């Protein structure tokens, strides 16, 4: 039984690496992205290496993740937990040791770039770079992630008792009861949701499918008229529409 995020991801890779894990829609732009277990693990490995090897982050340090509903939310969560970092979200007290943000967070976080790593993603298809220059000292995820290796083995791996979130350990994170989806998903199920996985209330929309051997479909700017068709097309088995 897995007791840390890296253990759980390794188990999923051994069991069925080709199945869908993360699917994302933006109904405002028409974007659709789907990552298999193997593709997701590859993104996590690259992002983990970026955090640890390029920015010298160490097990137990805090990374603030300030992203909207997007497929890169689960990637940054996975990379942080893979490296033994503690994830913080906007509004939590204390200065983090690093920040990952989207375009809307640049104004809030660019001023920290002289003290800590600030990594920004343009949230464009395929994770590509910003089209315009970033504030001085801010790192463009879409440039720097591609040079990272496709595998990552931490020299100081997280332990079950290490914090993954402010009040949740790595061991608690990889249990079906972590978070707040109220156990909607059965084993192997597919969750359709408008939740933001990179948020204090929405992270369970990612962790519960992960732990239960299922998958998630996240929708940003959801079009109500497309919901029933998407439910059928994606073969969802449960839905979560947080207030």
Q: For the segment 44-59, what is each residue's pLDDT rounded down to a tens digit?
A: 999 999 999 999 999 9
pLDDT higher than threshold 80 for residue 243? no
Alpha-carbon span 21 to 73, nearest angstrom: 13
Alpha-carbon span 59 to 26, nearest angstrom: 33
Give the pLDDT confidence score for residue 29 in this predicted structure: 95
Alpha-carbon span 113 to 97, nearest angstrom: 11
Residue-wise pLDDT tens digits, 10-43? 999 999 999 999 999 999 999 999 999 999 999 9
Sheet with 238-240, strands from edge to edge, namely 31-36, 20-26, 215-220, 190-193, 238-240
Alpha-carbon span 195 to 24, nearest angstrom: 11
The answer to whether 173 touches 181, Cβ cutoff 8 Å, is no
Instruction: Provide the whole-model pTM.
Output: 0.97
Alpha-carbon span 202 to 48, nearest angstrom: 22
* Tokens of residue 230, six digits: 């998407």
The answer to whether 9 touches 26, Cβ cutoff 8 Å, is no
pLDDT higher than threshold 70 for residue 190? yes
pLDDT higher than threshold 90 for residue 154? no
**How wide is the angle at C-alpha 164 spanned by C-alphas 159 and 170, nearest 5°?**
40
What is the CATH classification number for the domain harbouring 141?
Answer: 3.40.50.12780
Give the pLDDT confidence score for residue 44 in this predicted structure: 98
pLDDT higher than threshold 70 for residue 112? yes
Alpha-carbon span 18 to 70, nearest angstrom: 21
Domain of 193, in residue numbers: 5-240
Number of domains in the chain: 1
Residues 6+ apart with CB under 8 A from 243: none
């Amino acid at each position: 039984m897995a007791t840390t995020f890296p253990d759980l991801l390794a188990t999923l890779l051994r069991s069925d690496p080709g199945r869908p894990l993360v699917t994302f829609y933006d109904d405002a732009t028409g974007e659709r992205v789907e990552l298999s277990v193997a593709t997701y693990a590859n993104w996590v490995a690259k992002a983990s290496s970026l955090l640890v090897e390029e920015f010298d982050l160490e097990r137990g340090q805090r990374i603030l993740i300030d992203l909207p509903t997007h497929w890169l939310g689960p990637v940054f969560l996975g990379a942080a937990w893979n490296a033994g970092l503690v994830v913080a979200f906007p509004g939590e007290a204390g200065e983090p040791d690093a920040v990952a943000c989207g375009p809307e967070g640049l104004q809030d976080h660019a001023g920290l770039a002289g003290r800590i790593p600030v990594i920004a993603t343009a949230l464009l298809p395929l994770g590509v770079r910003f089209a315009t220059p970033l504030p001085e000292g801010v790192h463009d995820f879409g440039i720097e992630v591609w040079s990272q290796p496709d595998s990552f083995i931490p020299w100081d791996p997280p332990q079950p008792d290490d914090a993954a979130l402010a009040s949740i350990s790595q061991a608690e994170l990889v249990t079906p009861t972590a978070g707040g989806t109220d156990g909607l998903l059965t084993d192997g199920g597919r969750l359709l949701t408008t939740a933001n996985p990179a948020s204090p209330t929405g992270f369970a929309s990612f962790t519960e499918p992960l732990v239960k051997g299922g998958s998630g479909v996240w929708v940003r700017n959801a079009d109500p008229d497309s919901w029933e068709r998407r439910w059928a097309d994606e073969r969802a088995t449960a839905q979560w529409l947080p207030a």
